[in-house]
Amino acid sequence: MSTRNILIYPDPRLANVAKAVTFPLSHDVRALIQDMTETMYDAPGVGLAAPQVGVSLRIAITDTIWRNEENKKTDTRDLWVWINPQIVWKSDTTAPFEEGCLSVPETYEEVTRPIAVRIRWYDEQGKQHEAEFDGFMATALQHEFDHLNGRLFVDYLSPLKRRMIAKRMQKHFIE
C-alpha cells in the first residue's frame, strides 16, 4: 500500500467523466482501492474518488465518522467502498452544508443539495446493494459521486468565486 498524489483544482483531469468498473476486479483496481484508502486517511479526508488520484474509474470511498467535531482523528473507522454508484432517488427537501474537498485545499463553501438520497452500488466482490442515506453521509456521497462525473463542489459556486479559488490554488498548491 502507498499513498498517491491528489490532483488539485483546476487540473483538467478532474473534469473528466469516469468509466464504469468491470468485475471481477483486476489486481490493479484492488491496489488502487487500497492506495485510495491510505491516501484518504493520510490526507486526512472523509471521502476520495478515483479521478482525484488521476484514475478515471467510477470508484469512491468514504469514512464520515473517523474525525470528530474538532477535526481530530478517532479510533472509529467506517470505511465504505462505492463502485459504479448511482443515485436512484433524491429527496425534494434540500439544505445548505459547508463542503470541502481534498482537491481544493483549505477552501470551504456552502453547497445546497438534497438531504436524503437512495444509492445503488457494487461492493468489491461485485455484489449489488441499494440503501438510503441522509445527513452528512448524503452530502458526502453526492459530493464524491459528482467527482465521477467530472463535477466539483466549486462548480456550484459563482464563476467569480470559482476563478478566485482557481487562482489561489495555482498560487499556493500547484507547483
Catalytic residue numbers read: 144
Grid cell at residue 1? 500500500
Binding of Ni ion by 101 (CB under 5 A): yes
Residue 18 touching Ni ion (CB under 5 A): no
For Ni ion, the closer CB: 53 or 101: 101
Is residue 140 at the binding interface for Ni ion, with CB under 5 A as the rule?
A: no
Stretch of 21-29, 94-102, 113-121, 132-140 lying at the interface with Ni ion (CB under 5 A): 94-102
Residue that the C-alpha cell 498560487 belongs to: 171
C-alpha cell at 5: 498524489
Q: Would you say 4 or 23 has its CB closer to Ni ion? A: 4
* Distance separating alpha carbons of residues 121 and 23, to the nearest angstrom: 13
Measured from the CB atom, is 25 or 47 closer to Ni ion? Answer: 47
We find the least distance from the C-beta atom of residue 24 to Ni ion, in angstroms, to be: 28
In the 8-state DSSP scheme, what is residue 19? B
Q: Are 47 and 129 in contact (CB under 8 A)?
A: no
CB 30 within 8 A of CB 123: no
Residues that bind Ni ion (CB under 5 A): 101
